[in-house]
Chain A
Amino acid sequence: MTSAILVSIFMTLVAASTPILLAALGELVTEKAGVLNLGVEGMMLCGAVAGFAVAFSTGSTTLGLVAAVVAGIATAMVFAVLTLSLTANQVATGLALTIFGIGASSLIGAGFVGRTITRLGPVFPAALSDHPLLRAVFGHDIVVYLSLALVLGVSLFLRKTRPGLILRAVGEHDASAHAIGYPVIAIRYAAIGFGGALAGLGGAYFSLALTPMWADRLTAGRGWIALALVVFAAWRPGRLLLGAYLFGAVMTLELQAKAAGVTWLAPELLAMAPYLATVAVLTMMSLGRRTGRLDAPACLGKPFSAS
């Protein structure tokens, strides 16, 4: 195998991992604040369709990405109002949000079926990525670099900053945080909004970079993988990065193995590989812990009202 092919596989792997990483990172912050939003798939689809619609209408993928973030936040706010202000059940509302997102994106996207746009291109000039090895570093688009920066940023924010500490406090013990004067509901609104923004951006990565078109249910269930990834990562951004790239790697290598002629493995088994890998790592991680629970924020999924 030449280095060009290896780099090509690497590029595919990174691209496949990026939307999952983004959506999962957003959900991680949401969950750290104690809110379980199962509507990731719906928010991703709304971001995907908004991003495509704006990029198609204006001819600018940058504006498309901005629109996707806005659409993600807007969708997330529907969830936030229902669960925070009206204290609706988070699980049910999240599921409803996904169904809503699928329907809304399909409705908005109906007029864009069959249209294409210019793919989101590499951020650095082509001269920098002539050599395969340079391409592996400089050949990606802006969203890839942004996603890596966001992982670092979120990690530092949660561990090293005061607002990050407050956000975690809200997720671990909302009543105490409230008692010492922190606006629990407002912080959770912000966390849900951040989750929506990243889910929207992740969704737009499908319609602007991976497959520059609009098609119904473009994300094909990646939102659920992102949700699982947060648990897999035990709510740690660094591990989330590892998990997303591991998942992307298994997905990509599965296809490469088939293309290279690995026929002794059943195709169904190969298709299962990413999920098997996820289960295996999850099992290993939980075996390594005596507590049995994987560092979930204590208030995850519980409604809060300042009475």
Chain B
Amino acid sequence: MTSIITRRRFNFGAGASAATLPLIGGVARAQAPLGVGFIYVGPVGDHGWTWTHDQGRLALEKEFGGKIKTSFIENVAEGPDAARAIRQLAQAGNQIIFTTSFGFMNPTIQVAKQFPKLHFEHATGYQRAENVATYNARFYEGRAVIGTIAGHMSKSGQAGYIASFPIPEVVMGINAFTLAARKVNPNFKTKVIWASTWYDPAKEADAAKALIDQGADMITQHTDSAAALQAAEQRGVFAFGQASDMKAFAPKAHLTAIVDDWSGYYIKRVKEVMDGSWKTGDVWGGIKDGMVKIAPFNDAVTPAARAAAEAVQKGIVAGTLHPFTGELKDQKGVVRVKAGETASDEILSKMDWYIDGVQA
């Protein structure tokens, strides 16, 4: 039902203020502002995935002021409806359009063909074209950091993981988290609940409660709301925020969070459109590039856990530590990455197997 009833909300605030410029200026006529469009899969108010992309959009407005005009369409269903929404932004005169969910991949390519002069940027996809670039963030690096903390601080040696859908991105995160925790505690186990949704706060909270009932004392998630953190706070266990710093929702439970920061990339790409140097490409940035950040640690994080987490973070930035360094065995004991080797991006982006210790 929700796929039929999608809300369309346009933001023309910046456009309206730019339009009044010629009236005030008179002599120095402002150049027409550059249109920047965004397609969101969820509501801006989710405080998770879509919210962080919108923070990137706001950073653009702050950076460029009246020189750009941003607009967005939120709650766009992944599927045929997406093409219509993207085309709408293209026809509205936007020069660059960011489509921010995996399911927008085919519609983005399709619409980009019809508008060869416009620039398209698709988040988390793998199909590119002359005018379609892709970008993504290495969230698994952040998950290795929180996994290290979980390994140090879990008393039961069991974490609960609320996952959305078994796509490589999510599987990668579960594995990175578990691997890092098992480096600290070799018996560490991660219990996974597939919520089969990106966003259903009540269900996410219930999933957290179920995991806590079954012995997990560390809760982490790959779904978009802060509901699981609230459940953890209520039950007195620890948890990690997802996509943004979610401390406000669970001041005691929230140890830290993986923070997505798209603003740097968005500013860079819009600048390139302005000076004509934009080219297609593929960016997969991590902690080093500032696309993935770690939120401030809670005081509850023990000194040992803090030191270990910071060491992992530094190692990743320095390139001396890769979260997926062999030997890596899957649940059945098959060696997937040999000792001393590091999983290639190719292996990572197709990951469909679980590390030993994952219960999924």
Interface residues of B in 171-220 (CB under 8 A from A): 191-197, 199-203, 205-207, 209-211, 213-214, 216
In the complex, chain A residues 198-223 whose Cβ is within 8 Å of any chain B Cβ: 206, 210-222
A207-263 contacts to B (CB < 8 Å): 210-222, 224, 251-252, 255-256, 258-261, 263
Interface of B, helix, strand, loop or mixed by DSSP: mixed
User: Using a CB-CB cutoff of 8 Å, which residues 257-301 of chain A contact chain B?
Assistant: 258-261, 263, 267-268, 270-271
Do residues B166 and A267 form an inter-chain contact, with CB atoms below 8 A? yes
Instruction: Assess A215 versus B201: contact at CB under 8 Å? Given A98-B5, A261-B191, A271-B194.
Output: yes
> For residue A106, which residues in chain B have a CB less than 8 angstroms away from its CB?
7, 9, 43, 45
Q: Which residues of B contact A267 (CB under 8 A)?
A: 166, 194, 196
Query: What is the total number of residues of chain A having a CB less than 8 Å from a CB of chain B?
Result: 46
Question: Does B225 sit at the interface, judged by CB under 8 A?
Answer: yes
Q: How large is the interface on B (under 10, 10 to 19, 20 to 34, 35 or more residues)?
A: 35 or more
Report how far A260 CA is from B359 CA in the complex, Å: 9
Residues on A with C-beta less than 8 A from B213 are 5, 8-9, 256, 259
- Residue B28, interface by CB 8 Å: no
Q: Is B30 an interface residue (CB 8 A)?
A: no
Tell me how far the C-beta of B209 lies from the nearest C-beta in chain A, rounded to whole angstroms.
Answer: 5
Contact at A215–B47, with CB atoms within 8 Å?
yes
Which residues 104-122 of A sit at the B interface, judged by CB distance below 8 A? 106, 109-110, 113-116, 119
Contact B249 A261 (CB under 8 A): no
- In the complex, which residues of chain A have a beta carbon less than 8 angstroms from the beta carbon of B339? none
* Complex: A216 Cα to B9 Cα, angstroms: 13
Q: Shortest distance in angstroms between A107's beta carbon and chain B's nearest beta carbon?
A: 9
Given A211-B202, A263-B360, A216:B209 Cβ within 8 A: no
Contact between B5 and A259, CB atoms less than 8 A apart: no
In the bound complex, do residue B47 and residue A252 qualify as a contact, i.e. CB atoms below 8 Å apart?
no
B193 CB contacts on chain A under 8 angstroms: 255, 258-259
B199 touches A95 (CB 8 A): no
Instruction: With CB as the reference atom, state the residue of chain B lying closest to A11.
Output: B209
Within 1-57 of B, Cβ neighbours of A (below 8 Å) are at 1-2, 5, 7, 9, 42-47, 51
Instruction: State A270–B227 Cα separation when bound (angstroms).
Output: 21
A218–B195 Cα distance when bound, in Å, is 15
* Cross-interface CB contact of A114 among B5, B7, B209, B248, cutoff 8 Å: B248
B125 part of interface (Cβ distance < 8 Å): no
4 shortest A-B CB distances, which residue pairs? Answer: A216-B43, A267-B194, A271-B196, A216-B45
**What are some 24 contacts across the A-B interface (CB < 8 A)?**
A98-B5, A99-B7, A106-B7, A106-B43, A106-B45, A113-B51, A114-B47, A210-B202, A211-B201, A211-B202, A211-B227, A213-B230, A213-B249, A220-B201, A221-B1, A221-B2, A252-B210, A255-B210, A259-B191, A259-B193, A259-B207, A259-B214, A260-B214, A263-B359
Which chain B residues have a beta carbon within 8 Å of chain A's beta carbons?
1-2, 5, 7, 9, 42-47, 51, 75, 160, 166, 191-197, 199-203, 205-207, 209-211, 213-214, 216, 225-227, 230, 234, 248-249, 359-360
